[in-house]
Structure 1
């Protein structure tokens, strides 16, 4: 890990202007670290809750989902790298801007899979990775859930942080839960999937130079049912 850390820092030392997508307390450690190692930080986020505005060299009150506007600013500034942490939603803009500017990033097609819960389940199922049975529901549709066993988890396909998530135990609760989840979705799409009993564990990793490094294995603490 020390070697990969030195390699990453060595490459970052060539960079001067860093675009950080997101400006909440979650992105603050990234802004502070970039400043600590001598980079010029340009931060993009809603003004509300944007604590990073007091630490970045330049703050832009632009929504993190406004990809084209952020891209235009990054072009004019001459950004050398675009990054984020702790935000699934920001990853979409990060990789879109990186691709358009020819910077290091992850391919947009894979970004879509990893930030859309339906696309992720579909990809896992196609690769024969075990996962719960699921269906996608678009706005205004009544889903066929005859092939699913209760309890179910209802959630927006495109949000994070447990927004709109609900565990339901009967068909009677489906309509209300769907409406609630769709109200949190940017694209008005919801995924229903069978509830899996057990511990929830995350494995955090970083991939660099074609190699994968596990950083941490963590027991997840959730809010508990039904949300």
Structure 2
């Protein structure tokens, strides 16, 4: 008699369940990407710094947002870009966004960023996305980054020094409980860059770490 084996959940399955079960909060919302995408103390300084960057390029950059979520952040950046390509892994979320946000220069795509070919763009936004996925998936994403001139990366990391890039299973949680966080310049990722600029750093209350946004020029 053979044992039945359950097929492991894919990252798409996990992320879909997170939204279906409101695991990031927002019980009154149809889709909610967490307080990190809605708390004014967190998002307003971020938006200011990114808008300043986009304006410095005369609002002509094509931007690709990997992990656009409920689009509460992206919708406030669209007007500062030539084109805004918003990507997420959850089908129902992308279909919802297509119905709600119909600007001429916005395009929504449902992709698994670790497996699928990524859209062409000048600037890539990865905002609190890598922190939720495994090292293997991050490695797959990093291999695709050399097609972009700029990367705006936001990660939730511990206060002070920490051990970077401890592995996790892709899902709701992040590496903070392991006193770790994602650092693409460190092993096992070793992202090659031309330079980097700290765009924004927000210290969270109650010793819950910090949210750091860094601009990387990749070529």
In our comparison, the structure showing a higher alpha carbon Rg is: 1
TM-score with structure 1 setting the length:
0.41
TM-score with structure 2 setting the length:
0.42
Compare the two structures and name the one with the higher helix fraction.
Answer: 1
Q: Of the two structures, which has the highest relative contact order with CA contacts closer than 8 Å and spacing of 6 or more?
A: 2
